Every structure is written in C-alpha cells, then in structure tokens.
Amino acid sequence: MPPKKRVSDSAPSPRKRARGTASQPVAIDSQSYQSQPSALSPPPPYTHTFESRLRESQPKDAIVAPAEGNEAFDAHLEDNYDGIDWGRLKLYTKPITTHQHKRSWIYRHGYRVALLKDPTCVFFICYWCFKHKLTDISIGIYNTSAAVSSAARHLSEQKPGHRLVAPGKTLVASVYNALTTARVPISQAVANQINRFSKQRFRFAAVD
C-alpha cells in the first residue's frame, strides 16, 4: 500500500516576498500602485451644479442669452454731470446709488449730489445758479433727501434762467407775477379770479 501524501506537502507554499539587495534590486510594478487610489487622496471634484443640470435638461434652441440692458431705462435713472466743476463743490460728491424709482423732473435742471461726510444726504444744485457762480454763495443748493418741493419752488421763481415747473403743470402765479413785475394795477376781484384758476375747468371749456 503506497504511503499517503500529507496535505501540507501538496498545498502550494505561500509566495515569499522578494527582497532585493544593493547589488541586485527588485523591480516594482509602479502601475499596480498607481491604479489603486490612496485612501488619503481627496475625492474627485463635484462638477454638476443645479445650473448645469438645468441647462442640460433644456434643448439648445430654448437657451437664450440675456439681453443687454435697456439704454433708455438706464438713461432715465442715471444722473447728468456735464459741465460740473467738482473743485467748486468740495463738500459734495456723487451719490452712492442711482435713482431707485422715477427720477424727479427737477434733476433735468440741476445736479444731484451727495454730502461728502454723509452720502445719504442728497442735494440739488441748480444748473443756472451753478453756471453763474451763485452756488458759491450757497444760492441754488437745496437738500432733497426727504422732498424736492424746495428745489421745485426755486426753479419756479420769476427770474432769468428759471420759471420752470413740472411737465404738465401750469405755473398759475406767472400771470400774476408778470402783471406785478410790469407794475400793472390789479384789482382785488381780478387777483381773486387769477388765483382761482382751475386747470380742469379750463380743459373742459377748451373741449366744449
């Protein structure tokens, strides 16, 4: 009867790790190490965002580039500083923001500036007064942070370069002021009729 082979004899022996020497180094396959990601290496960056997924879900024809700003709308909100000399306005600067709503009609006839030490305080500077250097003695400068009524009254004054009112508004006092400037005698009854001028009744009378 032949002797039985032991299991340990038939089992393959574990592969011994090759050890090199200084004279006979062992070659190492670098690709096997590079193919295995390191546990300490950072994960790949996340490239998909909500915007990119939204673009990918839309057909190319449906993607429209944003239109450029409306020049007329921008011009309506922007201020005009043509002819201004900041050397004569050392206490003022441009406002930190443009008009957020409809621009008042008074800024068609003057600069919109802000106080240098407090940019939240907005002022109106009359074009005509600035051109004739009356603003150098503080004439034609009005604080319009809360309201523009004071600047509007200044523009409506009966003097050269002024006599201006809001579009669509009639300067009722101009008739009375013109008569008084010309030293035309006005009776009390006539003055009362002039001061009681009704724009609405005038329109109805013109239509009839």
pLDDT score recorded for residue 173: 55
pLDDT score recorded for residue 168: 77
| CA gap 54, 60 in Å, rounded | 11
pLDDT score recorded for residue 107: 93
Supply angle C-alpha 79, 117, 87, rounded to 5: 60
Candidates 173, 179, 181, 170; CA nearest to 203 is 170
pTM as predicted: 0.50
CB contact set of 145 (below 8 Å; sequence gap of 6+): 120, 121, 122, 123
pLDDT score recorded for residue 72: 46
3-state helix, strand, coil in the chain (%, to 5): 35, 10, 55
What is the residue extent of each domain of the chain?
71-154, 173-207
pLDDT score recorded for residue 63: 56
pLDDT score recorded for residue 167: 85
Greatest C-alpha distance within the chain = 157
Please list the ranges in the chain whose pLDDT falls under 70: 1-51, 53-55, 57-77, 99-101, 170-182, 193-208
